[in-house]
Amino acid sequence: MSDPKRVHNFNPGPAALPLEVLQQAQAEMLDYKGTGMSVMEISHRSKEFEGIIQTAEADLRELLGIPSNYKILFLQGGASLQFAMLPMNLRAAGSADYIVTGTWSKTAFKEAQKLGTARAAANTEADGFKSLPAKLDLDPKAAYLHFTSNETIHGVEYFNEPTPPAGVPLVCDASSDFISRPIDVSKYAFIYAGAQKNAGPAGVVVVIVRDDMLERTPANLPVLLDYKALAASGSLHNTPPCWSIYITGLVFKWAKQLGGLSEIAKRNKAKADLVYKAIDESGGFYRGHANKEARSVMNIPFRLPSEELEETFAREAKSNDLIGLKGHRSVGGMRASLYNALDVKTAESLTQFMREFQKKNG
């Protein structure tokens, strides 16, 4: 069989998956481990699926170094449902603090305001969401402090977690930089991430929750919104997204085989450095959105001198098999998403194209 056509995929999510993972899924598609069925056709109560979900959990525990007093859940409803479940479970009658650094933390904050009290510990919107806040106005009695480690649309990333007041749990939406580098999980009480950027296909959200947070869940929540019940059933209260969990598990295995998160972090840094270098050496032809100290390693939004040139850039990039570079409508311009599955060569292809495009149009 000839090699399939694969493009350089800069999609922001759903996004590129490692070729090895897709190939393994393809090889196992019709007959998963001698069952004569695909993973989509077996029971979520079968020993095969039990093996899939338990291995996925064990591999993630190893990858991120997750301590034993944390549970791992595989949930549905996207990261967006977590925006609502979090305050429902963790806030009780109190108030929660949110650091607003871009579209996603702003959306999480708005959802939290619907059913109770939430306050902004900082909000960088007036500066166009280009930076991390210089200082935080923290409530020492907050039910938790929420931040978004990487703002997918504005390309602003936290490399060191904000420090909450003593006793205030730290909660993080890590959707777009999940497993992109090592973190110290013990600093967090709660981490959640939609899988469809670094970790797998759409349809599953990974939640890492410290055991004591589960004690906060009020008694009257519908069971599918109840972290305590979902944890007690091992994410198997009802039919889980079996296929998405399977692929996510293959991605965790792939990440381990690549050398784990320090190795992956090096690769990600090398890719981002290449693109930022092309921006910085362009003499202003390309303009990055985020301020230098807050620049995301995962998502790089940038502008060209005119919208017309941006259209041409997207069109010509596409005809060179560089796909998914059009930016989000709220920021405009271009955005290169450089998730784990992309290799350094893909970033090189982009920067080579950027330099040639500037030569022709600059």
Instruction: Please indicate whether residue 173 is annotated as part of the active site.
Output: yes
Site string for ligand PMP, 145-184 (x = CB under 6 A): ---x---x--------------------x-xx--------
For ligand PMP, give the closer residue by CB, 243 or 285.
243
Of residues 105, 157, 126, 99, the one with CA closest to residue 291: 157
Tokens of 319: 């005809």
- Set 59, 139, 173, 177: catalytic member: 173
| Contacting ligand PMP within 37-96 (CB under 6 A) | 78-80
Does the protein bind ligand PMP through residue 200 (CB under 6 A)?
Answer: no
The distance of closest approach from Cβ of residue 15 to ligand PMP in the complex, given in angstroms and rounded to an integer, is 10
The distance of closest approach from Cβ of residue 209 to ligand PMP in the complex, given in angstroms and rounded to an integer, is 17
For ligand PMP, give the closer residue by CB, 80 or 291.
80
The residues, any chain, with a CB within 8 Å of residue 252's CB and separated by 6 or more, are 56, 59, 60, 63, 179, 199
The distance of closest approach from Cβ of residue 178 to ligand PMP in the complex, given in angstroms and rounded to an integer, is 9
Residue whose CB is nearest to ligand PMP in the complex, by number: 78
For ligand PMP, give the closer residue by CB, 104 or 129.
104
Other C-beta atoms closer than 10 Å to the C-beta of 16 total 25
298 Ramachandran zone, left/alpha/beta (phi>0; psi -120 to 50): alpha
The distance of closest approach from Cβ of residue 155 to ligand PMP in the complex, given in angstroms and rounded to an integer, is 11
Does the protein bind ligand PMP through residue 234 (CB under 6 A)?
Answer: no
The distance of closest approach from Cβ of residue 199 to ligand PMP in the complex, given in angstroms and rounded to an integer, is 11
- Pick the binder of ligand PMP from 10, 74, 104, 339 (CB under 6 A): 104
- Set 197, 228, 271, 326: catalytic member: 197
Does the protein bind ligand PMP through residue 14 (CB under 6 A)?
Answer: no
Instruction: Please indicate whether residue 187 is annotated as part of the active site.
Output: no
Instruction: By CB under 6 A, name the binding residues for ligand PMP.
Output: 13, 78-80, 104, 148, 152, 173, 175-176, 194
Catalytic residue list: 104, 173, 197
